[in-house]
Chains A and B, each alone.
Chain A
C-alpha cells in the first residue's frame, strides 16, 4: 500500500511539475539581473494603492536604471489567491506586502526567503532602528522573514465637527469603556438632532440619523479589550490550542461589545451596515466615532465636509492595543532577488518610510521617522497622530499560526450573529471555542 501511495504521489508530483513548472523544486541562487523590473504584489483601496505608487515612482526617480512594477490585487483574498497560484506556477512576484496575521501560512510552507544575512550585510538597515514589537511579529523559527513597514494599533476616529455641534465632550486619553458608552449614547441622534435610543429603531419608528460608534464584530476588534480587562484570548500565545473567551474578563469585554447594539443601540444595525459600511458612513458624517486602524486615514484624508481626529482606545484596567503591521516579504521562488532586496532596503529605510508616511497610509516602523514631522506633522489630519505612537508600547500581537485566516473567518461569523441577532452569550462563547479547536489543532506555529 505504501508503495502504491508513493507511486501515486510521485506520478502526481510529476504531472504537477510538468504543468506547474518548478513547484516541487527549490530555487537556489539569488542572482538575476539587478536592472530587471521588480514586481511588488499589494492590495488596498485606491488611495492606498496611490501611496504605494508614490513610493515606487520615488524609487525609480532615485535609481533611474531600476524599475518597480506594482501588481495590484483587489482585496486580501485576491492577493492570497494570486500569490499562491503564482508560486505554484513558478513565476511569483519578487516581493509582496502582507499583514502578520496572514503571512503564517506562507512562512510555514517555506515560501518566504529569510532576510537575516542580507540585513546583516546591509549598510542601510539596522534592526535596532525599528519598533521591536513589529520586527518580532515577523520572526519565524528564529529567522527574520519579513521587514515591517508599519506599526499601527486600533484607534478611535471621531468627527470633531459633530462633537462640537452637539456640545459633547471629546474623547480623552485614559478614558474608560463606560466613557465610550456614554459618549456614543450622547452622539446617537435622530434627524432633528435630538438624542435617540437606537434600540427603539429596530425595523420600526425612526432610524438614527447619526450613530454614536461603529465597530466591526471580529476577534481582532475584541482582543484589545479582553487584554485591557486583564484576560487572554488564547490559552498559550506561543502555542495556542484554543480560544479562552470563557474567562470572566473576556466574557465581560464580549458582553459590553454586543451590548453596544443589543442594549444601547449605538452601533448601526446589520441592515444598515450592509447598506453602507462603517467607513463610508463615517466619511459621510453619519457616524460619530469609528474604531479602526491607520488604514482608514488614507480614505478619510479625502473628507472635505468636516474635521476629524483620532483618540486612543478606551481602557478597562490597563491600556492595551492590538498590533496591526504589514511587512515586505521576499518570495523564495522570485527570480530577481538582488533587485528585490534593493527596493526592499529603500522602502524600509528612513527615506522610503518618509515618503510613504507622507501619504498618511502608515505609522512608520522606523522609530526615528515615526517621531519626526514626516509622520507627526499637523499639515494633514489626524492632528493627534501621536495617539498612534503612544499606543505602541501597549500593543500586543495576535498569535501567528498558519490557520489564523480560517479562525478569523469562523469567529467573525459567530460574532456577527452575537452582535446583531442577540444570540445567548454562553452559546456564542461555546461555539467560538468548539468551532476553532480543530483549526488550532491543524495549525503550525512559528516556534
Chain B
C-alpha cells in the first residue's frame, strides 16, 4: 500500500519537471526534427520536401564553413577552457584572504549576462581605440607592437576573428571552475598529508594523486563543454563579429540557423541545420562516453 503511495508521490513531485521538459525541450525538439524535412516560412503552411534540405546543406558552402568553424572551435576552445578552469581550481582551492577574491573574479565573467559580455568585448577588441589594441601597441611605433609586427586584427582578419571568439570563451569558465573547485576540496586531505610525508613534489602530487582523482569529473565536464561549445559561440559571434569578416569566418552553426530562419525566413532549412548540429552533439557525446568506458575497463583489469 505504502509503496504505491510512495510511487504516486514521486510521480507528483516529478510531474512539474517532466511537464516542463516535455513542453520546453522535447516537443520543440520533435517539431524541429520534423520541420527539417519541410519548407516553411512561418507565413504559408509548411510544405513537405523530404531530404531536400539536407542535400542543399551538403552543397551549401556557407553551411560547410559554419560546420568547420564549429568543429574547430570545439576542438580548440574546450580543452583550453578546461585547462584554465582546472589550473585556477588547483591554485585557489586553499583558504586564504586572497583566494576568496580571486575565486569571485574567476566566476564573475560567467555571471554577466551574455549580451553585456559580448558588447564589452566589442569595445575591448576595437582595432584602434579598444584597450587591448592600445596595450598591444604600447612601446611600438606606427601602430605596430614592440616587436615590430602588426597586432592581431581581431575583427577584420578571419583567423584573428576566430581567435577572438575563442579568447572570449576562455573567461566564462565560472561553472566549470566552481565544480572543479568543489571536487578538489572534497578530496581527502589526509591523502595529501601522507604525500607530504613521503616527500612528494608538487608535480608528483599533481600527477599521481590530484589528476587521477579528478579525472572522472574532468571527463564529464569535457563532454558537457563539448555539447555547450556548439551553443555558446552563438552570442559572441553575433554581437561582436556579426558572422565574422568575410568569408563567414566566425559563422557557427547556431548563427547560421538563426540567420537562415529569422532573416531569410527559411525555417525548414534552418531546422535541418539545427538537426545536423544535434546529430553532431549526440555523436560527440557517444564517442567520448565510449572512450571513457574503454579507458575505465582497461584500468580495472
Contact = CB atoms under 8 A, between A and B. Distances in A.
**Chain A directly contacts chain B within the complex, with at least one CB pair under 8 Å:** yes
19 contacts: A5-B48, A9-B48, A12-B34, A13-B46, A77-B263, A80-B263, A84-B43, A84-B262, A106-B43, A109-B44, A109-B265, A203-B143, A203-B150, A204-B142, A205-B142, A274-B156, A276-B128, A403-B264, A405-B264
Interface of B: 31, 34-35, 37-38, 41-48, 50, 61-62, 126-130, 142-144, 150, 153, 155-156, 245-248, 259, 262-265
Contact of B42 (A9, A23, A205): A23
Contacts of A6: 48
Interface stretch (A38-46, A146-154, A181-189, A413-421): A413-421
A314 B248 CA distance: 33
Interface of B is mostly: loop
A84 B156 contact: no
B42 A12 contact: no
A9 B247 contact: no
A366 interface: no
A15 B31 contact: yes
Which of B41, B46, B246 counts the most chain A CB atoms within 10 A? B246
A204 B143 contact: yes
Interface string A215-251: 0000000000000000000000000000000000000
A206 interface: yes
A81 B263 contact: yes
B42 A87 contact: yes
Given A12-B34, A109-B44, A413-B246, A80 B142 contact: no
B43 A23 contact: yes
B248 A80 contact: no
Contact of B43 (A77, A109, A272, A420): A109
A271 interface: yes
Contact of A12 (B35, B150, B155, B247): B35
Interface string A104-126: 01100111000000000000000
Contacts of A23: 42-43, 45
A206 B142 contact: yes
Contacts of B42: 20, 23, 84-85, 87-88
A416 B157 CA distance: 12
Interface string A368-389: 0000000000000000000000
A87 B126 contact: no
A275 B129 contact: yes
Contacts of A435: 61
Nearest to A89: B42
Contact of A8 (B34, B43, B248): B34
A24 interface: yes
Which of A85, A110, A272, A274 counts the most chain B CB atoms within 10 A? A274
Contacts of B43: 23, 84, 87-88, 106, 109-111
A271 B61 contact: no
Interface string A6-48: 1011001101100010011000000000000000000000000
Contacts of B128: 271-272, 275-276
Given A12-B46, A274-B155, 9 more contacts: A12-B35, A77-B262, A81-B262, A105-B265, A203-B142, A205-B142, A271-B155, A413-B248, A417-B246
Interface of A is mostly: helix
Interface string A404-417: 01100110011011
Contacts of B264: 105, 403, 405-406
Contacts of A354: none
A253 B150 CA distance: 32
A87 to B, nearest CB: 5
Nearest to B30: A15
B150 A417 contact: no
Contacts of B130: 275
A20 B46 CA distance: 13
A428 B61 CA distance: 16
Contact of A109 (B41, B46, B153): B41
A268 to B, nearest CB: 10
Which of B61, B128, B259 counts the most chain A CB atoms within 10 A? B128
B45 A13 contact: yes
A26 B212 CA distance: 64
Nearest to A86: B42
Contacts of A410: 62
Contacts of A417: 246-247
A206 B143 CA distance: 8
Contacts of A5: 48, 50
A111 B144 CA distance: 54
B38 to A, nearest CB: 7
Nearest to A415: B246
Contacts of A405: 263-264
A271 B34 contact: no
A33 to B, nearest CB: 25
Contact of B265 (A84, A205, A206, A274): A84
A403 B266 CA distance: 10
A207 B150 CA distance: 14
B44 A110 contact: yes
A270 interface: yes
A435 B248 CA distance: 13
A413 B47 CA distance: 31
Contacts of A84: 41-43, 262, 265
Which of A16, A206, A420 counts the most chain B CB atoms within 10 A? A16
A149 to B, nearest CB: 23
A8 B155 contact: no
Contacts of A16: 31, 46
